[in-house]
Amino acid sequence: MASSKTVTFCQEILSQAGITVGGSAPGDILVHNDEFYGRVLAEGALGLGESYMDRWWDCEHLDEFIFRVVRNDLKKNVKLNWSMFSLLVREKLLNRQREKGPVKLVGSRHYETGNDLFQVMLDKRMTYTCGYWEGTDDLGQAQENKLDLVCRKIGLEPGMKVLDLGCGWGSFAKFAAEKYHVSVLGVSLAREQVALGQKMCEGLPVEIRFQDYRDVEGTFDRIVSIGMLEEVGPSNYRTLMQLIHDRMVDDGLCLLHTIGANLPNKKPDAWTDKYIFPGGVLPTISLLSASMEGLLMVEDWHNIGINYEKTLLAWHANFEAGWTKLEAKYGDRFYRMWRYYLLSMAGAFRARSNQLWQIVMSKKGVLGGYRAIR
């Protein structure tokens, strides 16, 4: 049982964000176990997420709760605990993305959870990145808008060879081959994705390989990386940029589509690291720009992050609607974990804590200048 001082202290912190325990407003929470307070103080983000999974507290509008927590920077009132500190030390000393294994770990933990989960949650093209909601309220159309935006930004033309780094289930490859008549090589380290992606792209000039991006050979007219950079790790950014430089023709273009952080990731979110994206790190502008210097020129940097909240909420709505198809296999604890993941991410994007960047790069600069496309 938490002490009255601990309960009062935590409730006062929450009140700074307009959150009331036992209240009825969106974002208010209901605490079922008073040990929740001490657990969150001791374990931070990990304790907050795990205690939700353990049914110690509930919130009808979880995305609003996280939005208020993040927007009001409540974590500054909670000390960095030892487990989070040790995680930070390991990141510094061991370089968790140095070998090829950690990149594969992200795929095996997250993307290989089960194609059935993602088939319920995503659009028919299986596009697991931020949509572009200009002029639509339909998830499928928002994803096609995004895929077409990428194609237009890199100036796809019939007959071009395209490399898709971290291709997922091949949604971009399939779209680009169908709509722009190009050939695409996609690489991924998630076996479940590769197997289904190969089936989805049958009959098209698309090859989906189970392969590390660092092992790709040949040259390509265009290169895209849509949602892979978060898994690469800062220690490998330069390696990635060198590969893009070496694999792209002199007058080619590359587009990186990635979630981005406002500040360096000095305090990793221990819950996300443990349950969702082990080894994942969000890039910052400074880290990316340093890795590009001398290799690639930035032609355009477009922040479409305001679109991700709506995408995550659409995924959550699909997940809720299709849960009866998944419940027997995954169980209640997974349900609460996945709900927490989707809605907490939506809240973070609403708070503008996370960004979504589309960065267009060339090797030598586009002669006459690059025309930004929106």
pLDDT tens for the 374 residues of the chain, in order? 668 888 999 999 999 999 999 999 999 999 999 999 999 988 999 999 999 999 999 999 999 999 999 999 998 765 544 444 444 444 444 444 444 444 343 444 576 678 999 999 999 999 999 999 999 999 999 999 999 999 999 999 999 999 999 999 999 999 999 999 999 999 999 999 999 999 999 999 999 999 999 999 999 999 999 999 999 989 999 999 999 999 999 999 999 999 999 988 755 689 999 999 998 889 999 999 999 999 999 999 999 999 999 999 999 999 999 999 999 999 999 999 999 999 999 999 999 999 999 999 999 999 999 999 99
CATH topology of domain 98-362: Rossmann fold (3.40.50)
Phi, psi angles (nearest 5°) of residue 124: -65, -25
pTM of the model: 0.90
State how far the Cα of 227 lies from the Cα of 254, in Å rounded to an integer. Answer: 14
What residues does each domain of the chain span? 4-79, 98-362
Would the CA dihedral through 268, 71, 35, 323 be positive or negative? negative
